[in-house]
Amino acid sequence: MKIFEMNKSDAILFLCFSAAILAGPILLTPIGAGYPDLLQKFAIFGIFALGFNILFGLTGYLSFGHAAFLGVGSYTAVWTFKLLSMNPIPAIILATVVGGLFAAAIGFVSLRRSGIYFSILTLAFAQMSYNLAYSVLTPITNGETGLQLAQSDPRVLDAAFGRDYGAVLPSPDFFGISMSGYPGFYFCAIMLIICFFISMRIFRSPFGLMLRAVKSNQNRMNYTGLNTRPYAQAAFVISGMFAGLAGGLMAVTDPLAGAERMQWTASGEIVLMTILGGSGTLLGPVIGAGAIKYFENIFSAFNEGILMNAFSFLPESLQHLAVGITSLFVGEGWHLTLGALFMLIVIFLPGGLMEGFNRIRNRFLKRSGDGSGGTADTVPAAAE
């Protein structure tokens, strides 16, 4: 089949990516990230970032409201669990579809404008969704508490197939395999690999080329008599579907949907993930998502006791000094590290983390290759 054809370097990239993701539990254990919940978050936010990158990285449209699609996906998935079945398949299909529909509606309006006007339109829609979900729409969203499963939910499909969960609160399972812990991670990981594949195909397709053209000069495109809006709209819907899927997966691994998932800070986070990793690159957004989630979960957990231990090789006075300084950056100070990281990355690596990798690779290749030693590295498609 033509769709599965790819050139050699892409095939290698795809295989390496898949292998790295599937080996995540072993590879990430030495840095303290090898436990199911964080691995699931890596995969889920990886999908979210991949989708965001199709819009932002390719077309340059900077959406500040993508968290709304994630939130809608989560609500859809939890409602699917409640009404239809605890099997994750219907949940993620519906989450993807509803995320896409929601994106189609918002995109249809927002894409009438470009630049920051577009950003503010998407932000406005997302903030309205968040504010309403938190308050007035509580009957649907369960407001602040978040939508949860209940033992008394109807679960029509499960009932039709004679599945009875007894007196306990059910949790999502894939034909008997519980979706928490490592099985949940592998479920998300496979989704991530599929999404990576799709995203790769889009990058290499004529459609992807068209999207890049939208970014480089929309006016010129319009002068050629070509209407670029349908392309941007398609990219917007695709990225909304990715976000919906990510939201659905969040509910699959942890069946709860809260409104704060849609807040502007959450939308901002995905923008930061993408730029941090390197927007417009295939791998960058996934790496950026991983980096931010790692800081949020691991750096915030270091307390002074752990630091004291880490610096125990120092003499006592130095130990206290070292702990005093480092504790500003970890534990309750983890935000500071994150802020400083953003600044350092963007100052020294304008193309995000991916540029860092490319520079290292280029240096390595050059040393073994022509040895010209120049520093004029090409910057991978910088973001706008």
Partner 1 sequence: MSKLHTSRRGLLKGSAAAGIALATPTIFTSRAWSAGYTNEPTGGTVTLGFNVPQTGAYADEGADELRAYELAVEHINGEGDGGMLNTFSSKALKGDGVNGKKVVFVTGDTQTKSDAARASAKRMIEKDGAIMITGGSSSGVAIAVQGLCQDAGVIFMAGLTHSNDTTGKDKRANGFRHFFNTEMSGAALGPVLKNAFGSERSAYHLTADYTWGWSQEGSIKKYTEELGWKTAAAVRTPLGAGDFSQYITPVLNSGADVLVLNHYGRDMVNSLTQAVQFGLRDKQVNGKDFAIVVPLYSRLMAQGAGENVKGIFGSTNWHWSLQDEGSKAFVKSFGTKYGFPPSQAAHTTYCQALLYADACQRAGTFMPSGVGKALEGFKFDGLGNGPTEYRADDHQCFKDVLVVKGKENPTSKFDVLEVVEVTPRAQVEYPASLLGGELGPYNDGA
Partner 2 sequence: MDAILLQILNGLDKGGAYALIALGLTVIFGTLGVVNFAHGALFMLGAFCAVAVKAFLGFEKVTLDPENLTAWGTASEIRQPYIESWFGEFGTTLLNYSVPVSILITIPVMLLIGIVMERGLIRYFYKRPHAEQILVTFGLAIVAQEIVKSAFGANPIPQPAPDAARGMIDFGVAIGFEAGNVVYPAWRLIYFLFSTAIIAAVFAFLQFTTFGMVVRAGMVDRETVGLLGIDIDRRFTIVFGMAAVVAGLAGAMYTPILSPDYHMGMDFLVLSFVVVVVGGMGSLGGAVAAGFMLGILQSFASMNEVKNILPGIDQIIIYLIAVIILLVRPRGLMGRKGQMEH
CB 292 within 8 A of CB 273: yes
Q: Report the alpha-carbon distance of residue 304 to residue 319 in Å, rounded.
A: 11
Q: Is 154 in the site for partner 2 (CB under 8 A)?
A: no
Phi then psi dihedrals of residue 178, to 5 deg? -60, 145
Among 90, 143, 268, 350, binds partner 1 (CB under 8 A): 143
Q: Which of 347, 233, 250, 229 is nearest to 293 (CA)?
A: 250
Q: Is 35 in the site for partner 1 (CB under 8 A)?
A: yes
Q: Is 331 in the site for partner 2 (CB under 8 A)?
A: no
Amino acid identity, residue 2?
A: K
Residues 277-316 that bind partner 1 (CB under 8 A): 296-297, 300-301, 303-306, 308-310
Query: Binding mask 30-69 vs partner 2 (x if CB under 8 A, - otherwise)?
Result: --------------------------x---x-x-------
CA distances from 115 to 37, 112, 315 (A): 36, 11, 56
178: enclosing H helix or E strand = strand 177-178
CA distances from 49 to 2, 268, 281, 380 (A): 27, 12, 11, 18
323 binds, among partner 1, partner 2, none (CB under 5 to 8 A by kind): partner 1
Q: Which residues contact 41 (CB under 8 A, 6 or more apart)?
A: 293, 297
CB 289 within 8 A of CB 188: no
Q: Is 137 in the site for partner 1 (CB under 8 A)?
A: no
Q: Of 47-55, 169-177, 330-338, 366-374, which segment contacts partner 2 by CB under 8 A?
A: 330-338
Number of residues that bind partner 1 (CB under 8 A): 52
Indicate the DSSP class of residue 57: I
Task: Name the minimum Å distance from CB 215 to partner 2.
Answer: 9
Phi then psi dihedrals of residue 173, to 5 deg? -145, 145
Among 11, 32, 160, 217, binds partner 1 (CB under 8 A): 32
CB 309 within 8 A of CB 40: no
Nearer to partner 1, 138 or 362 (CB): 138
CB 28 within 8 A of CB 34: yes
167 binds, among partner 2, partner 1, none (CB under 5 to 8 A by kind): partner 1
284 binds, among partner 2, partner 1, none (CB under 5 to 8 A by kind): none
Query: Binding mask 206-245 vs partner 2 (x if CB under 8 A, - otherwise)?
Result: ------------x---------------------------
Name residue, tokens 């993930």. Answer: 273
- CB environment 18-34: b (16+ within 10 A), e (fewer): beebbebbeebeeeebe
Q: Report the alpha-carbon distance of residue 344 to residue 326 in Å, rounded.
A: 18
Residues forming contacts to partner 1 in the complex (CB under 8 A) are 25-26, 29-30, 32, 34-38, 41, 131, 134-136, 138, 143-146, 148, 151, 167-169, 171, 180-181, 250, 254, 256, 258, 260-261, 296-297, 300-301, 303-306, 308-310, 320, 323-324, 331-332, 334-335
Residues forming contacts to partner 2 in the complex (CB under 8 A) are 56, 60, 62, 109, 112-117, 120-121, 123-125, 127-128, 131-132, 134-136, 218, 264-265, 268, 271-272, 275-276, 279, 328, 333, 335-336, 338-343, 345-347, 350, 382-384
